[in-house]
A and B are shown apart, each in its own frame.
Chain A
Amino acid sequence: MRYLPHTAPDRQAMLATIGATAIDDLFVDVPDGALGTQPIAGLGHHMSEMEVERTLAAMANKNTTASSVPFFIGCGAYKHHVPASVDHLIQRGEFLTSYTPYQPEIAQGTLQYMFEFQTQVARLTGMDVANASMYDGSTACTEAIFMARRITKRGKAILSSGVHPHYVAVAKTLTQFTDDVLLCGEPHVMPGAPGHDMDWILNQLDTDTSCVIVQNPNLFGHVADLSELAKAVHAKGALLIVVFTEVVSLGLLKSPGEMGADIVVGEGQSIGNGLNFGGPYLGLFATRDKYVRQMPGRLCGETLDAHGKRGFVLTLSTREQHIRREKATSNICTNSGLCALAFTVHMSLLGEAGVRRLAEINHARAVSTAERLQKVAGITIVNSAFFNEFTIQLNTPSRQVVHDLAKHNVLAGVSLERLYPKHKALENALVVAATETTTDEHIEALADAFSKVLA
């Protein structure tokens, strides 16, 4: 077996050093009947590299890749172009095959990029401080709700109906055995006041409220100014948590920090990371300085070495489970290190000029898509304002339309019937996303296919 270095004589020599006659002498504590003497049945025999490649390529080839067709799917994961140097750098063995930097003297490479990552995320979100990343946007969102409870010592969280339904499902799941009370808005393609269910939230808001969670741009693509909401939330002593699923939007939109957010969480996949069928992704988490000791997750901080040279270490670990055990701020024990590195490399390539321009192009491509679809009979554009995705209303249930369009080799968007199977009122709606990868030909193909299918 190519990954196992020992020869049979090696094994014999080592057993002799140990004083054992056979390998199973070392498994002496395993109960009778539980110790296997033959390979476990029902699984294959070892394979060469070539055989494995063939087997897996056969599975991979059954999938329709995003790059091979006109592609307009978003809702929490986005198809962007990732520069070649990003994937090259994250595959350097010193990054790929290192561990959590518990020995900082020989992990400065990881620690320094974590510090750069934290700074980039804090600046993009308009916050003071960011952690070294979470599993994904949805788990970061739930952790933010718990953090707000710790800070405010209140248990009622109000979730806007514009929050991604899977993020809401994760929050509901993880709070079912805690004292938290979640109030979730009723989904509607055009919730309440401009882009958001503002009135409903304000009606629920009281002095028992720990936090209000709003997504911007929201699931339906609407963008809204949250500054007034922030004031109302703060007046009740609660916190405003702003969620995003498309981090590129921060290049063009007023930052959540500027609008008064207390905690900002979101999905960072769009920068540096591919679609990967949903994971691994990159949870971003940022807040104000004053709340840092209530933050979950790993943090990297600057310090000095014994010669007075600048260096970086993991810090404030008294919040974490390996020190605090059952009193920790979270049971989280990892971050999404390599995805964070991909983010940092891509963001270092883009810089402020690049990320602003990238965001502009994303918006422009979505505008072109919306304007073209508006001309298709049977389609109504719902949004008045959006970033790179928007909702359209069809004259027929959207899930079937998505399937029909797939037969025309167009992946048209996300059917809200799929995301909200229990909400009949949303069944004709579809969320369409465009990015810098969307060409005029893709847009034409989409419009053509819609014309045929909706006719």
Chain B
Amino acid sequence: MSMNTHGRPTQPVAANADGAASFSGNRGLDLQEPLIFELGSNTRTGVDLSDEKITKSYLGGLERTQPINLPGLSEPEVVRHFTRLSRKNYAIDMGIFALGSCTMKHNPRLNEKMARLPGFGDIHPLQPQSSVQGALQLMHTLAHWLTTLTGMPAVAMSPKAGAHGELCGLMAIRAALVARGNARQVVLCPESAHGTNPATAAFCGYRVEDIPANAKGRVDLEALKARLGPDVAAIMLTNPNTCGMFEPDIKAIADAVHAAGAFFYCDGANYNALVGKVRPGDLGVDAMHINLHKTFSTPHGGGGPGSGPVVFSEALAPFAPIPTVIKNADGYHLIEEENAESQTTFGRMVAFHGQMGMFVRALTYMMSHGADGLMQVAEDAVLNANYILASLKDVMTAPYEGPCMHEALFDDSFLKGTGVTTLDFAKGMIDEGFHPMTMYFPLVVHGAMLIEPTETESKATLDQFIHSLRGLAKAAVDGDANRFTGAPYFAPLARLDETRAARQPILSYKEPEMLQAAE
């Protein structure tokens, strides 16, 4: 038996493959947690409600007769359940989260505090407008920041996420073309586009065709010009593109698109590289969504809620969706219906006015930085990505020449012949204590690894990250494939069987007796 420096055993019992089992199933701070359905009971509740006697019912005979079968727990049990679950997650608060295209930057807690001011959190969307002047002022102020930063004349605030913003932009484009008398048939997207772009264009009734790319991972301008014609409604282009590169011909692209009578939709997913430094309006953009949950640090929350306001050019502004906020001599007004001020609107995208909670957080973030701080954001985001690119390109393989913008792209050619895939490499990063980069996207690069550090990582953090990735790359090339192919070894769970989940879908909990009864 091996001994530690205190002369005591290093293992409780003789070590075996899966470690010695504990009596509880837990091990130190690694705590197992059942489902709420395995813990609670249908008669227990963690909320004390009034004991008002109920004597009358006006339900028209529609009372529920079947049980719901929802277990409840006391408050201490609920707090413990979700606290234990939380500890099975990686998060920005724990370390660098270099997920390319997702802009996982620090989420300031001041944003959370401001969103919870009762004057923003405890007001109803259908209150009389005289009772919510401050809320309308906040929306109007945020709109001013967004239009000024982007150099665009108008903004639609209501879209609830990036993809929803894309839909908003494409619908405005279609409405503008219809108003001109011809909706046209085709939207051009590069192969490297986010999947939402073609999905959105198809939703608006357009056929999607590829924009050709050149060897440098940029749009092939001459090929694009050759393709443009009276059938093309719009191009959808991400800039910086999904390879993390700025499109150097962007103005020429915009000019060619406009000359062909089409519109330029810019996917603003990568706006963090430009914020406060480059105004998309100066590049000829007609519409661009802004992911407040990326560039302006509203929390990703494990998958939403997001927020995706869309800025518009003069040509598209009249078609923007309602509601909008305007200001005149007697205060702020919400335009909720088609009327004289909004008669060309393409309509309404959501029940109310958009993601107010996210608006408060985003404006808090913007005011904290100011125009000067936001410029520094873009510069540091680009600096950090280039630092990673420069520090790793001799051991990993970069498909395109730098400099990059806010994210660094690698392919899997450095792994050729090692038996290690991009997926394995990513799982190896988990064992190093990092969230992996974006894998297998963009599709134009083989085994893509897209690393976006963001501006809120310190040099010391980046150095440790680079040190680990260099070590992993060397280990893979030196033949230590086992380090990767069985990884992660040190996460709460080993690799999960996604094929099984899709072939035999179990999408809700069934009690053992329900399963038995079904058999």
Contact = CB atoms under 8 A, between A and B. Distances in A.
Interface stretch (A106-114, A148-156, A181-189, A201-209): A106-114
B69 A352 contact: yes
A395 interface: no
Interface string B294-318: 0000011111111100000000000
Contacts of A53: 110, 113-114
Contacts of A120: 70
Contacts of A325: 195, 198-199, 208
A418 to B, nearest CB: 7
Interface in A359-418: 360-361, 363-364, 367, 370, 383-387, 402-403, 406, 411, 414, 418
B131 interface: yes
Contact of A301 (B282, B303, B461, B507): B507
B455 interface: yes
Contacts of B384: 14
B391 A17 contact: yes
Given A195-B60, A276-B357, A353-B72, A40 B305 contact: no
Interface stretch (B8-16, B368-376, B410-418, B475-483): B368-376
Contacts of A90: 301
Interface residues of B, number: 204
Contact of A92 (B86, B278, B459): B86
Contact of B122 (A19, A167, A275, A324): A275
Nearest to A328: B199
A63 B123 CA distance: 8
Interface in A1-26: 1-6, 10-11, 13-15, 17-20, 23, 25-26
Interface in B82-135: 82-83, 85-94, 97, 99, 102, 104, 106-108, 110, 112-128, 130-135
Interface in A103-149: 103-110, 112-113, 115-116, 118-120, 122-124, 126, 128-130, 132-133, 135-139
Given A19-B390, A59-B135, A115 B35 contact: yes
A280 B357 contact: yes
Interface stretch (B47-55, B219-227, B258-266): B47-55
Contacts of A436: 49-50
A45 B501 contact: no
Given A11-B383, A34-B282, A303-B496, A123 B70 contact: yes
A313 B430 CA distance: 16
A449 B495 CA distance: 63
Interface string B48-70: 01101010111111111111111
A254 B132 contact: no
B407 to A, nearest CB: 13
B123 A223 contact: no
Contacts of A280: 160, 304-305, 307, 355-358
Contact of B498 (A28, A313, A364): A313
Given A18-B386, A77-B126, A5 B131 contact: no
Nearest to B60: A385
Contacts of B60: 194-195, 223-225, 384-385
A92 B93 CA distance: 9
Contact of B37 (A28, A116, A251, A345): A116
Nearest to A90: B301
B229 interface: no
A303 B498 contact: yes
A160 interface: no
B119 A336 contact: no
Given A26-B383, A363-B57, A338 B302 contact: yes
Contact of B62 (A123, A225, A326): A225
Contacts of A105: 427, 430, 488, 491-496
A56 B114 contact: yes
B54 to A, nearest CB: 5
B456 interface: yes
B49 A5 contact: no
Given A14-B383, A223-B62, A274-B121, A31 B497 contact: no
B121 A278 contact: no
A418 B125 CA distance: 12
Contacts of A33: 282
B367 interface: yes
A332 B417 CA distance: 38
Given A5-B458, A63-B120, A333-B162, A341 B435 contact: no
A99 B97 contact: yes
A291 to B, nearest CB: 12
Interface in A276-297: 276-281, 292
B347 A29 contact: no
B73 interface: yes
A1 B45 contact: no
A67 B123 CA distance: 9
Contacts of B110: 49, 52-53
Interface string A337-360: 111010011011111111111101
B235 interface: no
B459 A10 contact: yes
Nearest to B174: A177
B301 A36 contact: no
A383 B59 CA distance: 10
A210 interface: no
Interface string B221-253: 000000000000000000000000111101100
A106 B33 contact: no
A279 B347 contact: no
B36 A98 contact: no
Given A128-B508, A364-B56, A56 B360 contact: yes
A279 B386 contact: no
B66 A4 contact: no
Nearest to B105: A3
B62 A353 contact: no
B508 to A, nearest CB: 4
A446 interface: no
Nearest to A125: B68
A75 B127 CA distance: 11
Contact of A253 (B63, B108, B374): B63
Nearest to A226: B62
Nearest to B39: A348
A451 interface: no
A65 B149 CA distance: 31
Contacts of B160: 135-136, 139, 279-280
Contacts of B57: 363, 367
A46 B133 CA distance: 25
B352 A411 contact: no
B124 to A, nearest CB: 5
A449 to B, nearest CB: 13
Given A95-B302, A364-B54, A353 B403 contact: no
Contacts of A133: 304
B272 interface: no
A67 B89 CA distance: 35
Contacts of B500: 303-304
Contact of A94 (B93, B133, B497): B93
A315 B508 CA distance: 12
Interface string B485-519: 01010011111111011100111110000000000
B368 A52 contact: yes
B192 interface: no
B288 interface: no
Interface in A238-262: 250-255, 258
16 contacts: A3-B106, A31-B283, A61-B119, A64-B127, A89-B79, A94-B86, A96-B301, A116-B37, A166-B351, A279-B305, A299-B505, A322-B196, A323-B195, A348-B40, A349-B47, A349-B75
Given A36-B278, A338-B305, A351-B40, 13 more contacts: A35-B277, A35-B278, A36-B276, A36-B279, A46-B368, A46-B372, A47-B367, A107-B88, A112-B33, A116-B36, A300-B507, A333-B163, A356-B68
- A-B pairs, 6 with minimum CB distance: A351-B72, A60-B119, A278-B352, A385-B60, A173-B347, A93-B93
